[in-house]
Amino acid sequence: PLGGSRGNTLKRITNTFIIFLVSGFWHGANWTFIIWGGLNALFIMPSIVLKTNRNNLDTIAQGKLIPGIREFLQMVLTFALTVFAWIFFRCKTIGQAIDYVKGIFSHDLFTIPFARHPELKRAVICLILIVPFMMLEWLGRENNYAIEKLGLRWPKPLKWSFYGLLVFIIGMYMQTGGTEFIYFQF
């Protein structure tokens, strides 16, 4: 039998994969969810093997307005891997997910995506709305929630008007179609 540190590492790797694969199955009875769980296990594996997974519990760039280059690259990598795994989470079949990934890594990777797209206006509006919300989240990342301390000294009418505007914008652009709650799709 494996003993010592090597045995413990193998046990942690095995347990991590089992947990993530089960969480994938819990999200849906489809192989795409199992792959999503497996990808997440794979992505966290270097941190498990190197025993650094407990090193990243603090707020990123704590006390600083902008992150350092290393922190920025870590955020970009985490975002890219998460979004990549979401492809499998959202696609109905493995074939559809693979086709989607092939489309991403095609020769069109280096073209401007909306240059030929008829819905350029919609994409620009989306970006105009996303950027301020991302800035709010970044500036409020050390709080319990992003706007916790925003406008504490503002007059009440201005503060409540701002909150009302946020709710209005979210309401205007949220999806209200007939999408079934994901956990009812079993």
Active site residues: 27
The number of residues making up the chain comes to 186
Residue by residue, DSSP assigns the chain as: ---HHHHHHHHHHHHHHHHHHHHHHHH-SSHHHHHHHHHHHHHHHHHHHTT-TTS--SPTTTT-SS--HHHHHHHHHHHHHHHHHHHHHH-SSHHHHHHHHHHHTSGGGGS-TTSS-TTHHHHHHHHHHHHHHHHHHHHTTTSSSTTSSTTTTS-HHHHHHHHHHHHHHHHHHS--S-PPPGGG--
HSE (side-chain half, CA atoms, 13 Å) at 12: 16
